[in-house]
Amino acid sequence: MMKKIVNTEKIKSSFVSSMGHLLPAGKSPEDVLGELFADVQMQNIYVDSKTFVDLIPKKRSKQLLREYKLAKKDPNFNLHEFVRRHFYELSTVRSHVPFVADLNDTISQHISKLWLDLERRNRRDKGSLIALPYTYVVPGGRFDEQYYWDSYFIMLGLATEERWDLIEGMMKNFVYMIRKFGFIPTANRTYFLSRSQPPFFSHMVRLLAGHKGKSTLVEYLPFLLKEYRFWTKGRSKLAQEEHRAYARLVEMDNGSLLGRYYDNRTSPRPESLGEDTGTAEEAIERDSERLYLHLRAGAESGWDFSSRWFENPKDIRTIHTADIIPVDLNCLLYQLELTIVDSYRILKQPLFARKFQRLADRRAVAINEYCWDDRIGFYTDYNFHHHKSTGHVSLAGVFPLFAEVASIDQAARVAEHIERDFLKEGGLVSSLVDNGQQWDAPNGWAPLQYIAIIGLRNYGYFELANKIKSAWLKTNKTVFEQEHKLVEKYNVIGGNRLGGGGEYPLQDGFGWTNGVFEALSSERD
């Protein structure tokens, strides 16, 4: 009987994988629900704007809108009641029994059980949720989808438990989305189809290759190339564009090509409509469409939001993400280029390998030319509109060590800054600015701790890396002992260690915190 169930599951997954990419992509809720969508989001029917965009309509949108237009004419009309009757909350949780932490479990035992609770399976499009062929792991809380860059750090934890079946299924889901959409969106939601996230796909491929062998690089090469084209398309259009920038590609003054975060739409984010329109209303001197683009680009960066995107580090109304060459993005694209090089070498295709090696080498030179701020002694983002460093120091500056594009001297100065300015009692702070944004002080985030630790080790700073590791794991354990949970971000400076700030309450779960904790704590000393 069990074998029959397994075979049925494989058939269903294979069908979605082979046929699903032929079906047209669904539309974002604001396009489908129009007036109803705007009314619900602007009237704050739900505390969290993401709640409504994730609900499932019980009827076809045209019929629903007709009923809405008639119903709202009633002087006693109640919008919240209308939504409650015509929408429902989708549960993709495999077990209907709510997860309850066992107070006797160690943190590692807790995480192992939590992985099962964070598993999802959804093979049919439902509302804004896009079907995926294989089981996946979600971050937790309000984040109930397979997110792009979160998944790499989740996979690090799953790998320590030898959950390669789950990792490979998640990889196949990303391949499915690349085939269907031409890129990996932020997550499998229709309202995320205009933007991506930090490109960690090549790191996922290398992680899987470490388990299955080098042939994995060849297997995923077509999709690495499609990912690369997404981030670099538009070269022929640069000359006609203002500031020589098109989509996610920018031509620098010296002719080199670097990447930026972007979004294909210039409207408020559907999942944050109230927040974005509120920002636009307060920024009366700015063009609203341009402002929305910068907010959306900031969301694509994963750092939503941070002072690194603001001209005034204290004021989100000065956000200008799309004017910036991000140091972390270009380091990740450099690593993507090198992964493609290694794939072609395995295939014994030297011409293509040399082509991408040249691209990688040029990018490394450009990163150091434009993102190294010698005055500060640290890597920063670069404002290509103003032809200068943004001057904002953040943990993104450690990515060149992670990607190994920094010189020995540059790495030494970065390490000095990390130890002197960023390392706090509870781990590394994301930036040196405390402004109420979640990717700034006093918050520390698991993925940035991991990137910094690996980057410092790459240049021999093992003692400093171990200090960071010890401080971060202690923070995770302290909160776990107090609350018996893991959270998405932590206050590394003081207080009860629970992170804060941003557009929504602190979330439990939490995928990448669990993954990084397992990866670091399982290391041999």
CATH classification at residue 211? 1.50.10.10
Asked, for residue 463, whether it belongs to a domain, the answer is yes
pLDDT in tens, 163-211: 999 999 999 999 999 999 999 999 999 999 999 999 999 999 999 999 9
pLDDT in tens, 105-132: 999 999 999 999 999 999 999 999 999 9
User: Where is the domain boundary, 202, 230, 258?
Assistant: 230
User: Where is the domain boundary, 215, 230, 245?
Assistant: 230
Q: Is 180 left (phi over 0), alpha (psi -120 to 50) or beta?
A: alpha
Residue 467, pLDDT score: 98
Q: What CA–CA distance (Å, rounded) separates 379 from 387? A: 15
Asked, for residue 290, whether it belongs to a domain, the answer is no
Mean pLDDT of the chain: 95
Residue 26, pLDDT score: 86
Residue 98, pLDDT score: 77
Residue 458, pLDDT score: 98
Residue 509, pLDDT score: 95
Asked, for residue 455, whether it belongs to a domain, the answer is yes
pLDDT in tens, 457-473: 999 999 999 999 999 99
Mean pLDDT of 476-494: 97
- Catalytic hit among 275, 440, 488, 518: 488
119 is a catalytic site residue: no
For the cut 70, the answer to whether the pLDDT of residue 4 exceeds it is: no
- Catalytic hit among 119, 304, 337, 440: 304
- Per cent of the chain over pLDDT 90 is 92
Asked, for residue 481, whether it belongs to a domain, the answer is yes
pLDDT in tens, 207-262: 999 999 999 999 999 999 999 999 999 999 999 998 999 999 999 999 999 999 99
pLDDT in tens, 430-457: 999 999 999 999 999 999 999 999 999 9
Inter-residue long-range contacts of 109-114, CB under 8 Å, 24+ positions, other chains counted: 110/480, 110/484, 110/486, 111/157, 111/486, 111/514, 111/517, 111/518, 112/161, 114/140, 114/486, 114/509, 114/514
- Provide the pLDDT confidence category of residue 5 given band limits of 50, 70 and 90: low
Asked, for residue 302, whether it belongs to a domain, the answer is no
Residue 16, pLDDT score: 78
* Beta carbons within 8 Å of 221's beta carbon, 6+ residues apart: 340, 343, 344, 347
488 is a catalytic site residue: yes
pLDDT in tens, 366-419: 999 999 999 999 999 999 999 999 999 999 999 999 999 999 999 999 999 999
pLDDT in tens, 133-149: 999 999 999 999 999 99
Mean pLDDT of 14-34: 83
Domain that holds residue 505: 393-525
- Report the domain count for the chain: 2
Asked, for residue 255, whether it belongs to a domain, the answer is no
Asked, for residue 503, whether it belongs to a domain, the answer is yes
Mean pLDDT of 268-293: 96
User: Where is the domain boundary, 230, 261, 289?
Assistant: 230
Residue 273, pLDDT score: 95
Q: What CA–CA distance (Å, rounded) separates 156 from 24? A: 33
- Provide the pLDDT confidence category of residue 2 given band limits of 50, 70 and 90: low
Residue 79, pLDDT score: 97
Asked, for residue 457, whether it belongs to a domain, the answer is yes
